[in-house]
Each structure stands twice: as C-alpha cells, then as structure tokens.
C-alpha cells in the first residue's frame, strides 16, 4: 500500500510549547489517519523531525509499504534527503531514528511543499488549535 504523509511541527517560541501533527492519505486521497499532540517545550526543528518520525511509525503500523512524505520544512526535508548536513547532535539522533524506521518500507521519499499547500495548512491549523487550547489551560 502506498500512502501520502503530510507532516508539520510547530513551536511557540524557539524553544517553546511545541506540537506535532500529520495526516495520512491513501492513493485515492482518503484520510487514513489524523493525529496531533503536544510534545512539551522544544524547538521548531525538533518538532518537524518528531512529526515525520511519528508519522512514519504510524504508516508502518497501518501497513504502508511505500510512503511519500511532505513537509514545509526545507531544512528537514533536505537533511533527510542527504542534501544538507546536520550540524546539531540532537537532530542527528532524530535523523538516525527516522532512517531506522525507513528500512521497514520498500520506498520512502521526502518532498518539500509550501505552507500554502492545503494539506499542510490543514495539519498546521490542527496543531495550532491544539496549542491554543493548551495555552489557555496553562
């Protein structure tokens, strides 16, 4: 099964209150999974990596064999493609975890998309609504 994974991470401050989210679609563009959660206080780049890692783990659990990952983080996409070096050790650890999960798929590709992309914008709104609710309870 081939799936499309649209991921996003957000941080209110850098570091700050952070959240991750993703949506997984099948080949007919039906939503298979919608997910968002708080990940505590961290940076935006960590949130972006965590969104992809959590999304890939979920895609594996639902039986995906091929995954097209979409993210609005040019830095993270290019690091995962090997085009950019990873200079921070904590990001390298997340990179290594993602590459380990990747091995359980036949194919994984990483694609940068604009924040204006409707599917990324939907994930972004989902995360920000969740962070808004958390901010009100703090």
CA gap 47, 94 in Å, rounded: 10
- Distance between CA 66 and CA 60 in Å, rounded? 9
Q: pLDDT over 90 for what percent of the chain?
A: 81
DSSP output for the chain = -EEEEEEEEEEEETTEEEEEEEEEE-TT--EEEEEEEEEEEE-HHHHHHHHHHHHHHHHHHTT-SEEEEEES-HHHHHHHHTSS----HHHHHHHHHHHHHHTTSSEEEEEE--TTSHHHHHHHHHHHHHHHHHHHH-
Please give the domain boundaries of the chain with CATH numbers for all domains. 2-129 (3.30.420.10)
Whether the pLDDT of residue 138 is over 90: the answer is no
- pLDDT tens-digit readout, 93-119: 999 999 999 999 999 999 999 988 888
What are the pLDDT digits (tens) for 48-97? Answer: 999 999 999 999 999 999 999 999 999 999 999 999 999 999 999 999 99
pLDDT digits (tens, 9 = 90+) for 114-135: 988 888 888 898 998 888 888 7
Residue 42, beta-bridge partner list: 16
* pTM as predicted: 0.94
């Amino acid at each position: 099964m081939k799936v499309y994974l649209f991921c996003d991470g957000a941080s209110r401050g850098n570091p700050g209150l952070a959240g991750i989210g993703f949506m997984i679609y099948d080949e007919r563009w039906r939503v298979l999974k919608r997910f968002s959660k708080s990940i505590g206080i961290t940076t935006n780049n960590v949130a972006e990596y965590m969104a992809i890692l959590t999304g890939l783990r979920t895609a594996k659990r639902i039986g995906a064999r091929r995954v097209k990952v979409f993210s609005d983080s040019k830095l993270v996409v290019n690091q995962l493609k090997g085009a950019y070096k990873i200079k921070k050790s904590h990001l390298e650890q997340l990179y290594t975890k993602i590459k380990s999960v990747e091995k359980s798929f036949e194919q994984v590709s990483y694609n940068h998309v604009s924040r204006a992309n409707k599917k990324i914008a939907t994930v972004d709104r989902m995360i920000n609504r969740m962070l808004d609710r958390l901010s009100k309870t703090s």
